[in-house]
Amino acid sequence: MTAVPALPAIPSRFGFAFSDDGRWATCLSTVQDRVTLERWALTGDAPSGRAVDTGGEPVDRFSRPVPLDDGRVLVARPAVGADGTPAGHWTVVAVRPGGGASRSWRITPMLAGYPLAGPGSPQTLVLVAVEDERHSRIWLLPDAAAQPEPVLRIPGVLTGGVWLDGGRTLALDHSGAGHRTDGIAVDLHERAWRRIWTVSSTTTDRIAVRDRRSGTLAVTTSGRGGAPAIGLWSPGGGRVRFPEALNRAGRARTPLAFDGRGRLLVCEDAGAASRLLVHTAADDSVEPLPAPPGVLSPPASWTGGRIHLRFSAPHRPPTLATAHHSGWSFARRPSDAEAGWAAADLIELPGPDGPIEAIVYGGPRWHESDRVVLALHGGPLSAWRLEFDPLFQHLAAAGIAVVAPNYRGSTGYGDRYLRAVVGAWGGPDLEDVVHLGRGITERRRGVATGAPHPILLGVSYGAWLALLAACRAPDRWTACAALAPFTSAASLYRDATAPVRDRVARLHRLDGDRLDGDGGAAPRDVLDLCGALTAPLLVAHGIRDEVVPVRQSRALRRRLLELGRTEGPDFEYLEVDGDHTEVVQAWPAVLRTAVVRFCLDAGRTLASTRRGGGTNDGHLRG
């Protein structure tokens, strides 16, 4: 069995939250499966952090911490039964600055939720509890040894949260029947709520951030004139304004934070990377703010001339980034290991309809590597981002170059590029993939010491694309790895849950249960096409996948066996104990190791076939 190099322990930080006064931040920190709560002081020359002693109360990946102005931390955590399933209630813990839990409360019923802390002193502390798919409840948390008080039960699911005043009125995002999302205001004293922000019954309308000084709200909508937009709403009512400069780009923008002087920090998806912009409402101007190459994401804090937010880059696992007068710094504790993670470059590759941006691991001479993986992202309407990726790091550590392209249908490149695959799954995107595979082979021919053809690696929608490409052009690939694939859009629509069925129906035109939109093109059902497969194949799926049911991969396995293929020599099949996110994004170690070993073995299998006089590149037997 091929030896796979070990990867150092992978650290990550997520679940960031900032205190109302901007002096504190909290996050969850993970190294492998160990989760700790961290608190960061933001008032010094650089953020200073330490692990928080929760007094024996456990924290996990699902915990929701929020820092208070006095340095304490509120942590809400779901209770889990002996069998590992949710117990239907949560525990809320108040942690003292010196460490240890000062008190805790049990909230039931509660399936999901999070704490919020109001402005001023004393701070109003609330818990937003989602009881089920139809109802949410607001709880008032006491600042003494008393029991939480249920304030108001609201039909629908609540998310988000900004304070409209000193601690009496809370603005939240509200999703009611039909998945509609709009903004509501909850008056904690009157125990009443009202809708304050909506565009239509079919749009997703959210309240993003509030300017503490002026009371201005930044809001977003999924559909203003057919396109997403950012609006500004001022106290006193009136219509939401949509400043031209704030909505000019045609690319996804996210409002992050106000600075208290009328300026709004905005993050924009600029291809695979992020960039920061500052919008000034007085003259409707937008100016870029220099930022390091990578991915920036909310939440954010802009206080005292400093900006804090989450940041990740290919060589830097997610952490807290700070922008100040002298540049950018990144949160590090003494225990953070310097692992020497592989860097990546952004390049453009020629495509059939113009250049295609790709993230590339392997340096400027990546094409000379023994093996090159062509990685296809999920979606559709998604993209690879210029951020830390454990699977790509593991491939790079094994000496395998990675090319991760954002072909047509990817986000971050404008509406025309995005909509190229709406109603045309496996059309322009598949054309781009096959074209890229041909271009990589031509670039490697006569240069690389190993196999000239790339190895296909796809996740979710990208796994379906990879299988289609391997079936349509079987001689152009050294191997194909498909993680959580579906076999056709029609079968996914038939097998999936209602939210996934709805997404398929919206993005791939439906006529009843029959998928339409192929326009007479070549078939796109992998079960009908897989007899043409010749490249070595790996199929992996999570047994708890709630997005693409595991029976999709099991159907492919059955079909290959019907065709006379033998599991082991001809194809590999792996099921892991995980859900969709774990298989296509979190990359558990057992899956990463299997993928890296498969890619290393596939190249050796091809080389052996050539030495033995074979004529096909890595054929499956049978």
**Assigned domain for 620 exists:** no
- pLDDT, averaged across the chain: 88
**Gap between the Cα atoms of 185 and 200, Å rounded:** 18
Residue 289 lies in a domain: yes
Shared-domain flag, residues 204 and 173:
no
CATH of the domain at 220: 2.120.10.30
Q: What local confidence, expressed as pLDDT, does residue 305 receive?
A: 87
Q: Identify which has the larger pLDDT, 222 or 407.
A: 407
What is the domain extent for residue 81? 8-194
Tokens 């954010």 map to which residue? Answer: 300
Whether residue 337 lies inside any domain: the answer is no
CB atoms within 10 A of CB 90: 26
Instruction: Tell me if 547 is assigned to some domain.
Output: yes
Q: pLDDT over 70 for what percent of the chain?
A: 90
Last residue of a domain, one of 194, 222, 242: 194
> Does the pTM exceed 0.85?
yes
* H or E, element range at 450: none
* Least confident span in 32-41, 65-74, 272-281, 324-333: 324-333
Please name the residues in contact with 489: beta carbons below 8 A apart, sequence gap of 6 or more.
425, 504, 508, 515, 524
Strand runs labelled E in 252-304? 253-258, 263-270, 273-280, 285-289, 295-303
> CA–CA separation, 132 vs 134, rounded Å?
5
176 and 189 fall within a common domain: yes
Question: pLDDT tens digit string along 304-353?
Answer: 889 999 999 999 999 999 998 878 988 876 666 666 899 999 999 999 99
My answer on whether 254 and 319 are in the same domain is yes
In tens, the pLDDT along 549-593 reads 999 999 999 999 999 999 988 899 999 998 999 899 888 889 999
pLDDT over 50 (residue 399):
yes
Return the number of other C-beta atoms located less than 10 Å from residue 555's C-beta: 18
Distance between CA atoms of residues 285 and 78, nearest Å: 44
Q: Is residue 619 part of a domain?
A: no
Torsion of CA 115, 86, 153, 206, to 10 degrees: 60
Based on the fold, state whether residues 178 and 206 are members of the same structural domain: no
Residue 230 counted as domain residue: yes
pLDDT digits (tens, 9 = 90+) for 444-453: 987 766 678 9
pLDDT at position 447 is: 74
Question: Are 175 and 237 members of one domain?
Answer: no
Pick from 376, 407, 379, 410: nearest CA to 392: 376
* Pair of tokens at residue 97: 């600055």
Total domains in the chain come to 3
Last residue of a domain, one of 194, 211, 228: 194
Q: Which structure tokens are listed for 37? A: 């709560």
Q: From 194, 222, 246, give the residue that closes a domain.
A: 194
Verify that 179 and 204 share a domain, yes or no: no
Give the pLDDT band (50/70/90) at residue 617. Answer: very low
* CA 102 – CA 455 distance, rounded (Å): 55
Q: How many CB atoms lie within 10 A of CB 138?
A: 23
